[in-house]
Amino acid sequence: MARIGIIGAGSWGIALAALLHKNGHEVTVWSVLASEVEQLRTKREYPDRLPGVKLPEDMLFTTDLQEAVEDKDALVMAVPSRFTRETARKMKPYVTEGQIVVNVSKGVEESTLMTLSQVIEQELPQARTAVLCGPSHAEEVSRGLPTTIVAGARKKAVAEYIQNLFMNEVFRVYISPDVLGMELGSALKNVVALAAGIADGLGCGDNTKAALITRGITEIARLGTAMGGKYETFCGLTGIGDLIVTCASMHSRNRRAGILIGQGRTMEEAMKEVNMVVEGVYSAKAAMALAQKYQVQLPIIEQVNAVLFEGKPAAEALRDLMLRDKKIEVSDLPWED
């Protein structure tokens, strides 16, 4: 049995807390919101986000960050991406040398263009930082539906430790050393999922969805490999796998927000109606800044930015994508003479 602190009580943090408890671990969940902690303590459920999922009586909930961090074998960082640095900074006095911190949030910090594990490493240099990501909606994990995911760490022993913590008969965990590629795939797929949702809101069909998924992973891999990620990672669970589920499922808050935008809502209206963090909005600008830095083209992500932040009509953005200059799909394949 391990002692684990879950830092963040959103739907993903709670789903993983329930999974880890089922695996026999001692789990403490932290939230900055006293009202959230009180609801979880008294009702033992999260009816708004994970309806029907009952939480065990011996799962602990707290607003005391020191209680959630100290003397834990591993910490699961599950706060929204824009709060990762602030939360890690507050954790620093309580994190010990070599303590494992597993980031499960997705995004790129807009001000620094750092991935979230890089942010955590900067704020918590004494910790061993790792990531866990892949096609895994909290709603399905909390119900015990079969899921596959990847634990990433620079050292194999750390990845294997995380694999052993989380893996069970319905939650299969692979391991990978390509932390950068995993995080970029997980963050940028949210931006492409906004595009897929916008297309749905405009009334487009399956052909359009397939095109966005396929060309979307091409954009993600183009940027990711330029930054040092491995191409194979973008062909796997944290690349195309995560992109498929996020673009196709109504569990995806990014797709749902995109649908509303395609139907004519503004970005702010869509985010308010979804009533959950829409990480793709926060990653979109960072993705374009990275594209400029590494001199790569991201036409889908560029059009998403134009719709989100420049007021460009969604239908016009789609038209501009379709009327781009003629291209070869795979440029390095040989032609016959």
Closest CA to 13 of 70, 59, 58: 59
**Local structure of 142: helix, strand or coil:** coil
Is residue 156 within 8 Å of residue 167, measured between CB atoms? no
Q: How far is CA 148 from the centre of its chain?
A: 15
Which entry of 189, 285, 293, 326 is annotated as an active-site residue? Answer: 189
Please list, in sequence order, all residues whose beta carbon lies within 8 angstroms of the beta carbon of residue 108, skipping any fewer than 6 positions away: 81, 114, 115, 116, 184, 187, 188, 283, 286, 287, 290
The strand pair at 45-46 and 50-54 is best described as: antiparallel
Which secondary-structure segment (H or E) carries 196? helix 179-201
Torsional sign, CA 62, 67, 69, 73: negative
**Local structure of 173: helix, strand or coil:** strand
43 is catalytic: no
Angle, helices 179-201 vs 299-310, to 10°: value is: 60
Torsional sign, CA 203, 208, 209, 215: negative
- What is the three-state SS of 12-80? HHHHHHHHHHHCCCEEEEECCCHHHHHHHHHHCEECCCEEEEECCCCCEEECCHHHHHCCCCEEEECCC
Enumerate the active-site residues.
Answer: 189
